Structure 1
Amino acid sequence: MTTLPTDNTETAAATEPEMGHVLLVDDEVAFQRLGGNFLRGLGHTVTLAGDGAQALAAFAQQQPELVLLDLAMPPHMDPEIGLELIPRFARVPVVVLTGHGDHTLALRATELGAWDFLTKPIDPDMLRFVVARGLRKARLDAELNSLRADQAVDDLGMVGQAPATVQLRALVRRVAQTTVSVLVLGPTGTGKELVARALHACSARRTGPFVAIHCGALSAELLESELFGHMKGSFTGAYRDQPGLVEAAHGGTLFLDEVGEMPPPMQVKLLRFLQEGAFVPVGGRVQKHADTRVVAATHRDLEAMVREGTFREDLFYRLKGVVLRTPAMAERPADIPLLATRFLHRVAPRAALSAGALAWLMARDWPGNVRELKAVVESAGALLLPDQRAVDAELLRLASGDMGDAAPRTEFPAHGEGAGPLDAALLELELRLVRDTMLAAGGNQSEAARRLGISRVGLIKKLTRLGLR
């Protein structure tokens, strides 16, 4: 059992913590009590959850700024259950809690969107430090979003002046004022959820909740419970009545991401709700109603799925009141400089893109669309040395893994094996910086990560990539 001090006078004095709302998800009642008391002693507001269902409900209702998530979830203490929850908390930093030495599991968690991880038994100072950093990140993200809204009131968060972007914004404004259902279509990584959020923000429901769910992430049974809720005793582990996301979105907007992945049994139940505004929780007999606007999105060809018989035709026509299409990056190249600058400033507010960097960005294909552009630019920004203020083309190539004229590579080239002189110099510089910092920290990964200004997960990735593990 992890022991955490409840008197935080000494630990709080080292670094002034960022006060905020933390959701602590752990099945151990003792850890909930100790961890909750410790965080409250630091001045944070803490919401506790003992399993995935409680966590999702608390996340939707309480809107915390940071999630501490134990990966071992009941009923079988399977870490896969915890891993499946991570994408559901996508709008805030998620810090996963793992057993000692579970670095492979922690790296899998980061690939799914986790921001950092802590190893049990948890060091109180490290918990305080990570929570403070996570809350600062959450606040910075919120400030940047607010700044974008202030600087470009008309862009609805949909950055760009390419004709396809301008046309999409205009359609969003018109459609948002109606009550018609909306289907957002487009390739992966083009910002379909961003469009859904813009529709909500421009609508008369803007003061209501915006609730999102990925329809392909759960089985038909779990998806039904998530959407419509369940009654106590309706299945093993249903210890109390649990409202669903449809009910949580009452008065607001429900976003069904990747609706093309929805299992056929659920398509029937969703159709009934869209037609009547009524639903029955799992295990219940009493019909409930919810005033919820549904916005659906998918990268799949729903018309082809209807012809193949894998998607219901009546549901398709119910969803497609209005169809909005998010353009691929290839359709809006003029937006690349503005988007790249916004992404860079999220991780390095004072940095800039050199002329060569902009030329490299404009010349590159972006099959992963905006999501890929964001990943490359933010990675380049994170690689900037403390005294650097400009991101150049070579740093972008380093961040993308594209170390030559051939297809992008995910590994650093070995010395003398296809690496140009600048590539080799950048590699040597990063290797020396990481190695010297590890030596100065006495081999302590947490301390080294703190000195480098990166997360411990990021440090472990660098150590592995550079052959320093």
Structure 2
Amino acid sequence: MQNPPDSGRILLVDDEPAFQRLGADFLRGLGHEVVVAGDAEQALAAFATLPAPDLVLLDLAMPPTMDPEAGLELVPRFARVPVIVWSGHGDHELALRAAELGAWDFLTKPIDPDMLRFVIARALRKAKLDAELRALRAAQAGDDMGLVGQAQATVQLRAMVRRVGPTRVSVLVLGPTGSGKELVARALHASSPQSENAFVAIHCGALSAELLESELFGHLKGSFTGAYRDQPGLVEVAHGGTLFLDEVGEMPPPMQVKLLRFLQEGTFVPVGGRSAKKAEVRVVAATHRDLEAMVRDGSFREDLYYRLKGVVLRTPALGERPADVPLLATRFLHRVAPRAGLSGDALAWLAAREWPGNVRELKALVEAAGALLLPDQPEVDAPLLRLAAGEADGDLPAEPAAPLEGLGPLDAALAELERRLVRDALQAAGGNQSEAARRLGISRVGLIKKLARLGLR
């Protein structure tokens, strides 16, 4: 017998045998496939079994404690699918907590069958749309996994990602700033069996040791000034998925010890807490620093380095793969100007340029040039790229200057004054547009727009 189109595989988690039996019969009568679990351990085991459920129905009061707080801790573990929670306590604060942790809806026992039918149908439709969106994004990404290019170094990197992605091994991504280390981490996640779970990224050098600990491991209410409620950390949010530690070489030494303990034992203690929690994540770390040199000088823990090292992938600098520049530039241009192209002199200018900022610099430059295209310009040329790069260029095509005689006396005087001020600022700055913009008290993008509007070269 074929299931209805809105049917799904449902994990029913409740400790009452009578409710398990009646609930399962009701759900099967609606055409759903039902798996029943009576406690947290059974629920997590069933959730990890293939085929995975499309929806979880979770009673918050679970044995052995029967404390709703214990049930709430399960919500992030099921976060990749809609989770409908219920409880015999119609507590407003409990409902808010469940929603903050990712629950799709909150119902109070006794449960109205019509309401349950409606909520389940809506949640399954949402899950189906999410699956279709993921499939569409995967199809658009194509075989390049988001790692665009045909240079030998890029081809080899993609091959390694495909080989390592399906495993659970930790990965260390090394490469210069702006070379696409996070893209590699996302490609590893997308090619892993955990791709439907969360991908969570954190920059390890952007926060102090105390704040980084709170961000990674969470905190309890009252653990420090401003901690008005319990807050799960990114490790817990990433459970079942991938945790990306960007610029791990910048991590403060006190946090290196706590990260090492988590990697060794799979447990962590939230700030202000006393009991350990568990989380299973795949760790991908990245840095532009020389970690081996940091280990030698004592600024990075040797045991942590070897825990993270698993498999090492290296992202090449853009200068090491010049053949990829045209492909990347075209991809970036089409994001802001889908119908535009790159002229021959633009491609030659890009090929001859050094890229100390790597792919990030190329992306910013090409997207800026695409944004500066005039309506009648079908392609980005070299003068426009030079303008976007902030380099003076005498051959830049610009919109014709508005004739002063077509303006009223006041408008004409103001326009002429604006031209004079801009021209004088550029001359004083030696043609440096960033400095000229600073002298005028405007942004460089604002100056570029004025140059085009006023017809100045």
Scaled to the shorter chain, the TM-score interval is: 0.5 to 0.7
Q: Taking structure 1 as reference, are residues 146 and 360 closer, same or farther at Cα in structure 2, changes over 3 Å only? A: farther
Give the Å deviation of 1:431.
7.8
- Asked whether 1:169 is paired with 2:158, we answer yes
Rounded Cα–Cα distance in structure 1 between residues aligned with 2:445 and 2:325:
28
- Asked whether 1:365 is paired with 2:354, we answer yes
Q: Taking structure 1 as reference, are residues 206 and 432 closer, same or farther at Cα in structure 2, changes over 3 Å only? A: farther
- SS state at 1:241 partner: coil
Rounded Cα–Cα distance in structure 2 between residues aligned with 1:182 and 1:255:
10
Rounded Cα–Cα distance in structure 2 between residues aligned with 1:462 and 1:335:
28
Q: Taking structure 1 as reference, are residues 290 and 431 closer, same or farther at Cα in structure 2, changes over 3 Å only? A: farther
Q: Taking structure 1 as reference, are residues 395 and 239 closer, same or farther at Cα in structure 2, changes over 3 Å only? A: same
Rounded Cα–Cα distance in structure 2 between residues aligned with 1:354 and 1:330:
21
Q: Name structure 1 gaps, 5 residues minimum.
A: 1-57, 63-141, 404-418, 444-458
- SS state at 1:362 partner: helix
Rounded Cα–Cα distance in structure 2 between residues aligned with 1:150 and 1:237:
44
Give the Å deviation of 1:150.
3.1
Q: What letter corresponds to residue 323 of structure 2 in structure 1?
A: A
RMSD, aligned α-carbons: 2.9
Q: Taking structure 1 as reference, are residues 195 and 248 closer, same or farther at Cα in structure 2, changes over 3 Å only? A: same
Q: Taking structure 1 as reference, are residues 146 and 251 closer, same or farther at Cα in structure 2, changes over 3 Å only? A: closer
Q: Deviations over 1:7-47 (max 9, x none)?
A: xxxxxxxxxxxxxxxxxxxxxxxxxxxxxxxxxxxxxxxxx
Give the Å deviation of 1:153.
2.2
Q: Deviations over 1:102-154 (max 9, x none)?
A: xxxxxxxxxxxxxxxxxxxxxxxxxxxxxxxxxxxxxxxx99x9888535622
TM-score using structure 2 length: 0.59
Q: Deviations over 1:282-334 (max 9, x none)?
A: 00001000011110000000000001100000000000000000000111110
- SS state at 1:260 partner: helix
Q: Taking structure 1 as reference, are residues 432 and 278 closer, same or farther at Cα in structure 2, changes over 3 Å only? A: farther
Rounded Cα–Cα distance in structure 2 between residues aligned with 1:218 and 1:299:
18
Partner of 2:446: 463
Q: Where do residues 60-209 of structure 1 align in structure 2 (5 Å cutoff)? A: 149-150=138-139, 153-209=142-198
Q: Taking structure 1 as reference, are residues 306 and 388 closer, same or farther at Cα in structure 2, changes over 3 Å only? A: same
Partner of 1:307: 296
Rounded Cα–Cα distance in structure 2 between residues aligned with 1:195 and 1:399:
28
2:271 to 282, 293, 297: 282
Partner of 1:323: 312
Rounded Cα–Cα distance in structure 2 between residues aligned with 1:322 and 1:341:
32
Give the Å deviation of 1:462.
3.7
Give the Å deviation of 1:460.
5.7
Q: Taking structure 1 as reference, are residues 367 and 430 closer, same or farther at Cα in structure 2, changes over 3 Å only? A: farther
Partner of 1:264: 253
Preserved CA contact (<8 Å) 1:149 1:155: no
Q: Deviations over 1:414-438 (max 9, x none)?
A: xxxxx52x14x54xx39869xx9xx
Partner of 1:387: 376
Q: What letter corresponds to residue 355 of structure 1 in structure 2?
A: G
Rounded Cα–Cα distance in structure 1 between residues aligned with 2:402 and 2:245:
47
Give the Å deviation of 1:251.
0.6
Give the Å deviation of 1:463.
3.5
- Asked whether 1:246 is paired with 2:235, we answer yes
Q: What letter corresponds to residue 310 of structure 1 in structure 2?
A: S
Q: Deviations over 1:404-457 (max 9, x none)?
A: xxxxxxxxxxxxxxx52x14x54xx39869xx9xx8xx99xxxxxxxxxxxxxx
Preserved CA contact (<8 Å) 1:228 1:247: yes
**How many residues are treated as equivalent by the alignment?**
289
Partner of 1:374: 363
Rounded Cα–Cα distance in structure 2 between residues aligned with 1:203 and 1:216:
27
Rounded Cα–Cα distance in structure 2 between residues aligned with 1:378 and 1:214:
25
Q: What letter corresponds to residue 250 of structure 2 in structure 1?
A: E
Preserved CA contact (<8 Å) 1:148 1:157: no
Q: What letter corresponds to residue 295 of structure 2 in structure 1?
A: V
Q: What letter corresponds to residue 222 of structure 2 in structure 1?
A: G
Partner of 2:14: none
Partner of 1:43: none
Q: Taking structure 1 as reference, are residues 230 and 296 closer, same or farther at Cα in structure 2, changes over 3 Å only? A: same
Rounded Cα–Cα distance in structure 2 between residues aligned with 1:363 and 1:373:
13
Partner of 1:215: 204
Rounded Cα–Cα distance in structure 2 between residues aligned with 1:214 and 1:431:
47
Give the Å deviation of 1:266.
0.1
Partner of 1:353: 342
TM-score using structure 1 length: 0.58
Preserved CA contact (<8 Å) 1:278 1:288: yes
Partner of 2:101: none
Q: Taking structure 1 as reference, are residues 240 and 432 closer, same or farther at Cα in structure 2, changes over 3 Å only? A: farther
Rounded Cα–Cα distance in structure 2 between residues aligned with 1:331 and 1:148:
29
Q: Taking structure 1 as reference, are residues 277 and 382 closer, same or farther at Cα in structure 2, changes over 3 Å only? A: same
Q: Taking structure 1 as reference, are residues 149 and 208 closer, same or farther at Cα in structure 2, changes over 3 Å only? A: closer
1:232 to 213, 218, 221: 221
Give the Å deviation of 1:402.
2.5
Partner of 2:114: none
Rounded Cα–Cα distance in structure 2 between residues aligned with 1:290 and 1:431:
63
Q: Taking structure 1 as reference, are residues 324 and 431 closer, same or farther at Cα in structure 2, changes over 3 Å only? A: farther
Rounded Cα–Cα distance in structure 2 between residues aligned with 1:390 and 1:148:
27
Q: Deviations over 1:34-74 (max 9, x none)?
A: xxxxxxxxxxxxxxxxxxxxxxxx9xx89xxxxxxxxxxxx
Q: What letter corresponds to residue 165 of structure 2 in structure 1?
A: A
User: Structure 1 segments of 4 or more deviating over 4 A?
Assistant: 145-149, 430-433, 464-468
Preserved CA contact (<8 Å) 1:328 1:369: yes
- Asked whether 1:332 is paired with 2:346, we answer no
- SS state at 1:254 partner: strand
- SS state at 2:359 partner: helix
Q: Taking structure 1 as reference, are residues 356 and 279 closer, same or farther at Cα in structure 2, changes over 3 Å only? A: same
Q: Taking structure 1 as reference, are residues 149 and 392 closer, same or farther at Cα in structure 2, changes over 3 Å only? A: farther
- SS state at 1:384 partner: coil
Rounded Cα–Cα distance in structure 2 between residues aligned with 1:294 and 1:311:
17
Rounded Cα–Cα distance in structure 1 between residues aligned with 2:297 and 2:345:
48
